[in-house]
Amino acid sequence: MKAAASSGPCCRPSMMAGSPKDRVTGCLYVVKSLSALPEVKKLDGSLFKIGFTAGRFEERIARAQDDPTFLLAPVHPVRTYDTVNLNANKVENLLHRFFDVARLDIEIMDRFGKPFRPREWFLLPLPVIEQAIQMLLDGSIVRHRYDIA
């Protein structure tokens, strides 16, 4: 498994690409919501979406305000990682399972008035997410469980 952390909001370092045979397979990203909803706004600093796209990150978040997955609000990029030679969807799912106990439990109405429960938002400090990504990269994540306490 290959990876490198990004410190800039829109930087996309590769998850340790180095060989000509390496292939970018997607983008794992962490964003924070810019929602004006009081129940979301009060969680600023501890509420993050961990997501994946096979396309361009900028395109994925461009219409966040119209997408219930993004809480129908714009988002601010926090970290992005190009995934190299990985099934980034599996990486995303592994992180979601790892942080399941910290998953935000919220129901919002989508643009059509239907209830929607976003599943990719977590109440976590950013350093914990970064640590989990490092454990994912070195393979040690399988020996750990996230404890919210």
Three-state DSSP at 123 gives strand
Q: Which residue bears the tokens 């909001």?
A: 9
Residue-level pLDDT at 22:
86
Residue-level pLDDT at 104:
96
Q: Whole-model pTM above 0.75? A: yes
Position 51 in a domain: yes
* pLDDT above 90: residue 4: no
pLDDT in tens, 56-112: 999 999 999 999 999 999 999 999 998 888 887 888 889 999 999 999 999 999 989
Position 68 in a domain: yes
Sign of CA dihedral 19, 21, 23, 28: negative
Position 109 in a domain: yes
* pLDDT above 50: residue 25: yes
List CB contacts of 48: < 8 A, sequence separation 6 or more: 30, 31, 32, 78, 121, 122, 124, 126, 129
Please state the domain count of the chain.
Answer: 1
**Phi and psi dihedrals of 9, rounded to 5?**
-65, -30
* pLDDT above 70: residue 129: yes
CA nearest neighbour of 117 among 125, 105, 126 = 105
E strand residue ranges, 22-112: 24-33, 47-53, 75-84, 108-109
* pLDDT above 60: residue 3: no
Position 9 in a domain: no
Position 119 in a domain: yes
Position 135 in a domain: yes
- CB-count exposure of residue 42 (10 Å: 0-12, 13-18, 19+): exposed
Residue-level pLDDT at 18:
62
Position 36 in a domain: yes
Tell me the C-alpha distance between 122 and 109, whole Å.
Answer: 19
**Phi and psi dihedrals of 47, rounded to 5?**
-110, 120
Position 7 in a domain: no
Q: What is the dihedral of CA 130, 35, 10, 19, to 10 degrees?
A: 50
* pLDDT above 70: residue 17: no
